[in-house]
Amino acid sequence: MKTAMVAKKEERSPNLEGGGVIQVLTKFFTALMREYLPDPFVFVILLTALTVVLGGVLQRKTPIEMIGYWGKGFWSMLAFTAQAVTMLATGYVLAKAPLVDKGINQLSRLLKTPRGAIIAATLVGGVGSYINWGFGLIVGAVVARKLAVAIRGVHYPLIMAAAYTGFVLYGFGFSSTIPILIATNGHPLESAMGTVPLSNTIFNAPILITALVLLLTLPVLNVLAMPRNPEDIIELDPNVFEDAENDPTSPLLGTETVAWKLNNSRLLCSGMGLFGLLYLARYFYLGGSLDYNSNNLTLLFGGLLLMGTTARYTAALAEGAKTVGGIILQYPCYAAIMAMLAGSGLVGTIAEWFVHVSNVYTLPIWGLASSFVINFFAPAAGGHWVIQGPFMIEAAKALGTDLGKTSMSVMLGNAWNDLIQPFWLIPTLAISGLKLSDVMPYTVIAMLWSGVVIGTGILIWSFF
């Protein structure tokens, strides 16, 4: 893909008219992250070292004992790692399917104004992320870029950021990592907490209402962030991406051998997709629950139907697989950290701290706030949960706080922080060709507002 170039007279920070305080905050956060935020894997190494030190200082464990716990736990999350990798890769394929692409093109033709484009990008990113976080990350960015080409006067950094701000809705949705995980039999912390049905987490009324408030207000917030001065508007050069991608509806080239015909057979691909979806229909009819496996099956076989041929599907999947390297690298390390926390007794010690500062009503708020901070160090929700989950569960059981509320507070703290987490902005930056500093000022504004909405929702739910 060509390097993204945008039509602008000079490099400068976005000028948000009448937003002096917001500008100061956004510049502060951007400068802070540029200076101090290393790669996510560096955080894993630092957390590993910190856990070893804490095990020695607080629990009197030797380094050799901590290494033993680490080694025993390293491969304990292979099943969950595979589930997370599959979700992101298959969500990527779904976002690139021909039918989805046609819908995006139709949307770009219907919209006429920059405000409408920004609202649409936010809603597509939000609804897409609510359905599946891997799908939402990609489809929101794709829609935003196409709208920026089709509609003149759209501030390109803002519309790409607007699509990403909808990503916060994944924490409330069908692929919300922690609620789906703890609803699945055999999850890593089942011995400590059992399973928690989705009716106690993402399908609980206060959570649904909070998600709806965010979905309705984030588009308004992003429109209000539009530059008032035409000179500050940065438009996308329509010629930059014209040769960047092949038409996903076009047939793959090749010699029409028997093998080529089989690879491009719509009958075979659609038949396999339908076969899988019929199984899912039977599964849910017999009382099966929404979990990681059923979610991934839906994405996989739905993608086969939409892609039309196995050749197209495998080509798109190979492209999507490039985005999952960080998960493969990091999750075993997080599993090892969890094993050190549990084996050394650090889980119990940290849980006691939460018991001392919380009560049955305030623990979820403490969970939300601490999760926001921890997510700077553990940006993948699965790894995040295995670090924070054990001591939050122990504190909840000691205080008598509902495990669903406690777990959901950790999930929403994670999703809230993702608005300013560069790790998850990588797909948006890759698709847009922009830099982190171009979009971060707008995602920080969304983070501040989302914190108010989510914090209020959790607080009300705690007393519900």
Q: What gap in Å lies between CA 274 and CA 256, rounded to an integer?
A: 26
Using DSSP, state whether 7 is helix, strand or coil.
strand
Rounded to whole angstroms, how far apart are CA atoms 80 and 383?
10
Report how many helices (DSSP H) and strands (DSSP E) the chain contains, helices first.
22, 2
pLDDT at 18 over 50: no
- Higher-confidence residue: 314 or 384? 314
Q: Is the pLDDT of residue 413 over 90?
A: yes
- Element housing 34 (H / E): helix 20-36
| Cα→Cα distances 79→134, 150, 293, Å | 18, 43, 10
Quote the pLDDT of residue 226.
Answer: 86
CA–CA separation, 350 vs 50, rounded Å? Answer: 14
pLDDT score, position 117: 95
Structure-token pair, residue 455: 């914090």
254-266 average pLDDT score: 81
Residue 1: predicted pLDDT: 35
Average pLDDT on 255-262 reads 81
The whole-angstrom distance between residue 96's C-alpha and the CA centroid of its chain comes to: 18
**Strand, helix or coil for residue 30:** helix
Q: What is the pLDDT of residue 209?
A: 97
Flag the least confident range among 7-21, 43-57, 348-362, 422-436. Answer: 7-21
pLDDT surpassing 60 at residue 174: yes
Average confidence (pLDDT) over 131-147: 86
Q: Report residue 250: phi and psi, to 5°.
A: -80, 145
Question: pLDDT category, 11, cuts 50, 70, 90?
Answer: very low
Question: What is the pLDDT at residue 229?
Answer: 77
Specify whether the CB–CB gap between 210 and 457 falls below 8 A.
yes
On the question of pLDDT at 24 being above 70, the answer is no
Mean local confidence (pLDDT), 171-188: 88
Q: Distance of alpha carbon 39 from its chain centroid, rounded? A: 17
3-state secondary structure (DSSP) of residue 236? strand
Task: Please choose, from the candidates 206, 200, 140, the residue with its C-alpha nearest in 3D space to the C-alpha of residue 170.
Answer: 140
User: What per-residue confidence (pLDDT) applies to 192?
Assistant: 87
Pairwise CA distance, residues 403 & 196, whole Å: 8
Tell me the percentage of the chain whose pLDDT exceeds 70.
87
**What integer pLDDT is reported at residue 3 of this predicted model?**
38
Split at pLDDT 50, 70, 90, the class of 186 is confident
Q: What are phi and psi of 7, to 5 degrees?
A: -80, 105
Contact present, 384 and 378 (Cβ < 8 Å): yes
Distance from C-alpha of 181 to C-alpha of 47, rounded to nearest angstrom: 23
pLDDT band of residue 100 (cuts 50, 70, 90) is: confident
Mean pLDDT within 458-462:
92
Spatial CA neighbour of 224 closest among 141, 307, 310, 119? 119
Average pLDDT over residues 111-125: 94
Residue 286 pLDDT > 70: yes
Q: Are 301 and 277 in contact (CB under 8 A)?
A: yes
Of residues 236, 235, 250, the one with CA closest to residue 102: 250
Give residue 357's pLDDT: 85
Is-above-0.85 flag for pTM?
Answer: no
Q: What are the DSSP calls for 266-315, one per residue?
A: HHHHHHHHHHHHHHHHHHHHTT----HHHHHHHHHHHHHHHH-SHHHHHH
Residues contacting 375, CB < 8 A, separation 6+: 384, 413, 414, 417, 418, 421
Using a 10 angstrom Cβ sphere, with 0-12 exposed, 13-18 middle and 19 or more buried, the burial of residue 246 is exposed
Residue 159 confidence class, pLDDT cut points 50, 70, 90: very high
Average pLDDT along the chain: 83
- pLDDT at residue 33 tops 70: no
Q: CB atoms < 10 A from the CB of 352, how many?
A: 13
pLDDT higher for 247 or 172?
A: 172
Average pLDDT of span 138-163: 91
Mean pLDDT over residues 50-61, rounded? 92
